[in-house]
Structure 1
Amino acid sequence: MGKYLFEIVVLSSVLLILYAVLRVAYVVWWRPNYLEKVLRRQGIRGTSYKFLRGDMAEIRRSILEAQSKPMSLNHHITPRVFPFFYDMMQKYGKVSMTWIGTKPRLIIGDPELIRMILGDKKNDFVKPPQNPLVHMLQRGVSSLDGEQWAKRRRQITPAFHLDKLKGMMPAFSTSCSNFIDRWIKLATPEGSCEVDVAPEFQNITCDVISRTAFGSSFGEGKKIFELQKEQAVLVIEAYYNLYIPGLRFVPTRKNKRRYKLDNEIKTMLRDIIRKKEKEIIHNRPELGATDLLGLLLKCKEQSNNSMTIEEVIEECKLFYFAGQETTSNLLTWTMILLSMHPNWQEKAREEVLRMCGKKSPDFEAISHFKIVAMILNEVMRLYPSVCNLSRYTKRKISINGGMTIPEGIETLLLMLSIHHDPMSWGDDVEEFNPERFSEGVARSTSKDTIDYSLTAFYPFGWGPRRCLGQSFAMIEAKMALAMILQHFSFELSPSYTHAPRTVITLQPQYGAPVILHRL
């Protein structure tokens, strides 16, 4: 009997080992080579599979090399921002294949394909499974799919209705007035000063979000932003490294820092939430639906539409980071481009002074700014805050007249490349020309079709998952820019170095020093 049991144990162990060996061989060799053959048979070209490591080392190396030196003062930024992906598209076309470890990834820079992925086929292309260290930055509505996403989207949408945004105008105006006063005080007796506007706009948008979305002070929000910026750098590093399951639990110095940052951010947000709950319950119950946090807390209390406190925290993290980064980057690049193109700076100033004089713009004036809107759209075309999106096939998908993408393939949608594609925007694609938006976004491209124009311009995404905060960001940006134009002219400092790069969002690597001249 004992011998029989021993033989069963040995046989079971051998079978388990054999299964493990076969499973490993399937994951690291058979499936990658099979998928490569499937994709190549359809004419998709790209790099070949490299055992285990894929192209991650080459991607990381190309980025470090590109960021080691600045570029000339022009708008042909794709080779510096995405050097590896730019080279791939030049060699292999607008659909090409690269590798993340053992998994193929399709690089897509074709407007029609992106439109299909984000629109018609949205239910088949989902958010890719994330390295847990990358996912740590936020797990809000943008990371969800299916019914979870639809439910959360319904819960949050009312916070961005037009009547809510109109009610935020005094807070926008207060925040903008405060930084204008600060810049005036910085000016010399001659009325000039040099300011790095990148951190300035981060502070401004931090203040706006703290006031309008959470009812908290600038001081409470600023620390959260600083922690999230550090967290974003660590997220980027984790993204470009091969993830080994369980590695996140190893107490390395960076892992310990990642978890410490995550805990600090959540603790601060819990304090803000508790403070808001007390205001709603004891002092001002009408606050329960006047801002994003109040609305989320109201949802949390509804049994049929409930949100947990952890879900509320994740939505707060998302809005703090995405809301602040998007608008501050837009304003930073707008100041840089209007410094490079003073004729458009003057056209915008004339429009603002004609419509508002020196008074703070109101909602009516902002909604009728045409030249300011054209400029902001052109800035977002050339320097979009979010330069790419990732999607993942949860089943075998047929698209584009017979192209088939197997299950489990990540697609990287290169919005930046589409924004800089001469096939969409004409031969002057790398020139700053707000005039292309004179008839609105729908008639902005060189292709004379509304559908094409709407799918070649993606500053806030496209389709049902278009960014909810788009109107919030545009109102804030228009007001801030208008008030700057009312009080200052500006030019690039001689110390400015043109070096766009991505740290989650597109940012100037060495800041944005600008010389302000008081009017």
Structure 2
Amino acid sequence: MAAIGILAIFLSCSLCLYFVLALIRQLNKLWWTPIRIQHQMHSQGINGPPYKFFYGNNKDVSNMKKEAMVRPMDLSHDILYKAQPHIHAWIKKYGKNFLLWNGSQAELIVTEPELIKEILNNRDNTYVKEKPGGYIDKLLGDGLVFSTGEKWTKMRKLANNAFHAESLKNLVPAMITSAEVMLERWKIYEGKEMEVFEEFTLLTSEVISRTAFGSSYLEGRNIFEMLTKLTMITARNTYQLKIPVISKFYKTKDEIEADELEKEIYNRVLEIVKNTEFGSSTGGHFLQLLLTAHHNANVSQRISIKDVVDECKTFYFAGQETTNNLLTWSVFLLSIHTDWQEKARQEVLSLFGHQNPTPDGITKLNIMSMIINEALRLYPPAISILRKVEKEATLGKLTLPANVTVNISNFAVHHDPDIWGEDVNLFKPERFSEGVAKATNNNVAAFIPFGMGPRICVGSNFTPTEAKVVLSMILQRYAFTLSPTYVHLPFQLFTLRPLNGVQINFNAGDPKTNASAVEDKSRIDISTVKGKTTIPRAEHEVMDMGYLMETIEAIPYHDLFIHSYEELLRRGLGR
């Protein structure tokens, strides 16, 4: 009996010790470490909003974003305060580099180009891609965006082979085919208002399906729809913090749905992969390269089937999301600044007439390049770049503790008047008339819509090429203006997108005649033009995130639209 009593005491003491140590570990993570880092950064002149136990600044950020979405803004390109209100407010208060808290995780916001260049050009793994975990991991897996080390090197080499300049020339016909399908459908909307964000969502989904995977949008439709649902779930939970221990044993409704979507996406992508592998589908160039690597006789160069699926998920998502946003904002800008629309049209007609664009001709679209660069500056698809400090590091004159997240706000950099001048928020493509280097005064980190350095976005050539093809074909056929029903509310959902879409009036016939007939809004001070809200909320009422997500979920796909698109494909157009 005495032995049993001693054993019981020992077990009780061990259990108490375990809980005490667990409590100390959590206190270290949730209080002592944040306070230490905050003090260390403050002593170096880096300030920021004070750390709050457990939540950090997440509640503040969430509330600021909700407040920003309450009502539409004036029709202006001064949009930093809308899409990233916390960055805008805290740069003003604390300076261009400041510290904020994502829960208990320290996050250094960096907007000085010299420091950005040092971070993104680093090659000794001081600043690494952080494994996202959670919902983002379910969305993209361990693909090219988040993989590191030898795996990233191997996968990057495959992607470079698929999307280098010469390969892109071979992809142009597929881009043209997909654009022709879209433009054929547009004929029933001539002279009417059309929402282009949805149009370009389907178009870019079709293009990435054809060019990378050798399939059509119809074959990948379920994948895109499930990725969209998973994106919405991820966005809803961006600032949700999990309580340690409890989260391991209890799953929310969103977590359960995300798990189911992840499995279904994996199975659908795997089906396309196997159809290509066993000859029932031709596959695209990129997918063929992945499958060749999967069967590589050299074990060190071989990739797993999960690697193949993760890369497919990454390119399905990123391949359409980036170009979709670039096309949407470019058309939006040209619909306001019709003088630049006409300049671009004349350039297209002088090179191609009314024939389809050619790979060689696309490289000569100088005015179009200026317009696209200015669109990427004002409305970059990705508006921040994240890295994690792997070990204590020196950045400029700063000493950064290990495990701090570095958040490069390229969005803030693109809208910095100290870099671009007092006209920073005006649409002026002529900035880029002598190239990017001249526009940035040789400050390469001042314009980074696709990042820079060894991990620059692999689609940095693919996206502008697709945009040039599609815009050229639109300009050959239509003159267009912004509809008065448009509501200007850019917001961040991974990429920078329009909350209510972009409504455009397209006029067919002779584009030159139509262009001269419409009002030239390029001379209007757009800061005085206001949109008309379609959000049925009282102006004083703060929109809750549940309502916002309902609004967002209405954006991506409408059944009637999809069925019309399917019908065109079934009739053989663009096959």
User: What is the TM-score normalised by the length of structure 2?
Assistant: 0.85
- What does residue range 253-402 of structure 1 map to in structure 2 within 5 Å? 253-279=253-279, 291-304=285-298, 305-401=301-397
What is the CA deviation profile of residues 209-258 of structure 1, one whole-angstrom value per residue up to 9, with x for unaligned ones? 11111111221223222221221121122221113356276342212221
Structure 2: stretches of 5+ with no match in the other structure = 510-575
Deviations 1:131-153 (A, max 9, x none): 42232110211101222211221
- Specify the SS of the correspondent of 1:411: strand
Q: Which residue matches 2:38?
A: 36
CA distance in 1, matches of 2:226, 2:124: 33
Distance of 1:52 and 1:116 partners within structure 2: 31
Q: 2:71 aligns with which of 50, 69, 73?
A: 69
1:162 aligns with 2:152: no
Deviations 1:73-130 (A, max 9, x none): 0100000000111111110011111111222211111111111111136611112242
**1:52 Cα deviation from its structure 2 partner:** 1.0
Aligned equivalents of 1:384, 1:122: Cα separation in 2: 28
Provide closer, same or farther for how the CA distance between residues 126 and 245 of structure 1 changes in structure 2, counting only shifts above 3 A: farther
Cα deviation digits, residues 414-446 of structure 1 (max 9, x gap): 01000001111111110000000001111112x
Q: Residue 496 of structure 2 aligns with which residue?
A: 506
Alpha-carbon deviations, 1:13-54, whole Å to 9, x = none?
343333223222222222111111111111111111111111
Quick one: structure 1 residues 359 and 74, their matched pair in 2 at CA, closer, same or farther if it must change by over 3 Å? same
Paired residues of 1:134 and 1:236 also in contact (CA < 8 A): no
Distance 1:241 1:356, change over 3 A: same
Maintained 8 Å contact 1:126/1:394 = yes
Cα deviation, residue 4, structure 1? 4.8
Equivalent position of 2:225 in the other structure:
226
**What value does the CA root-mean-square deviation take over the aligned residues?**
1.7
Is the 2:371–2:429 Cα contact (8 Å) retained in structure 1? yes
Residue 153 of structure 1 aligns with which residue? Answer: 156
Distance in 1 between residues matched to 2:20 and 2:487, nearest whole Å = 58
Equivalent of 2:95 in 83, 93, 96: 93
Aligned match for 2:409, one of 408, 414, 417: 414
Task: Say whether residues 1:436 and 2:431 are aligned partners.
Answer: yes
Deviations 1:287-315 (A, max 9, x none): 58x61111101100014211111111110
C-alpha displacement of 1:340: 0.9
Go from structure 1 to structure 2 and tell me whether the alpha carbon gap of 1:261 and 1:249 turns closer, same or farther (over 3 Å shift).
Answer: farther
Q: 1:185 aligns with which of 184, 188, 203?
A: 188
Cα distance, 1:164 vs structure 2: 2.0
C-alpha separation between the residues in 2 aligned to 1:260 and 1:513?
Answer: 35
Question: CA contact under 8 A between 2:131 and 2:146: conserved in structure 1?
Answer: no
Judged with a 3 Å threshold, the aligned counterparts in structure 2 of structure 1 residues 204 and 43 are, in CA distance, closer, same or farther, namely same
What amino acid maps onto 1:411 in structure 2?
A: V
Which segment is superposed worse, 121-130 or 328-337? 121-130
Q: 2: distance between equivalents of 1:404 and 1:45?
A: 14
Deviation at 1:472, TM superposition (A): 1.4
1:117 equivalent among 116, 119, 126: 119
Deviating beyond 6 angstroms after TM superposition, the runs of 4 or more aligned structure 1 residues are: none
Which letter does structure 2 place at the counterpart of 1:477?
Answer: A
2:124 and 2:376 map into 1 onto residues whose CA distance is: 24
Summarize the Cα distance change of 1:97–1:474 in structure 2 as closer, same or farther, 3 Å threshold. same
Amino acid at match of 2:418: M
Aligned residue in 2 for 1:481: 471
SS in 2 for 1:392: strand
AA aligned opposite 2:287: L
Q: For 1:507, what is the secondary structure of its paired residue?
A: strand
Give the Cα–Cα distance (whole angstroms) in 2 for the partners of residues 464 and 42 of structure 1.
29
Counterpart residue identity of residue 492, structure 2: T
Q: Per the alignment, do residues 294 and 121 of structure 1 end up closer, same or farther by CA in structure 2, a change over 3 Å counting?
A: closer
- The one-letter amino acid paired with 1:76 is D
Distance 2:44 2:287 in 1: 49
How many residues of Structure 1 are paired with residues of Structure 2 in the alignment? Answer: 503
Deviation at 1:10, TM superposition (A): 4.2
Instruction: Give the match's secondary structure for 1:137.
Output: helix
Per the alignment, do residues 253 and 39 of structure 1 end up closer, same or farther by CA in structure 2, a change over 3 Å counting? same
CA spacing shift, 1:97–1:14, aligned 2, 3 Å: same
* C-alpha distance in structure 1 between counterparts of 2:244 and 2:306, whole Å: 24
Instruction: Report % sequence identity.
Output: 38
Distance 1:201 1:14 in 2: 59
Paired with 1:19 and 1:484, the residues of 2 have a C-alpha distance of 65
> C-alpha separation between the residues in 1 aligned to 2:231 and 2:490?
17
Structure 1 alignment gaps of length 5 or more: none
Work out whether residues 248 and 255 of structure 1, in 8 Å CA contact, stay in contact via their aligned partners in 2.
no
Which amino acid is the alignment partner of residue 495 of structure 2?
T
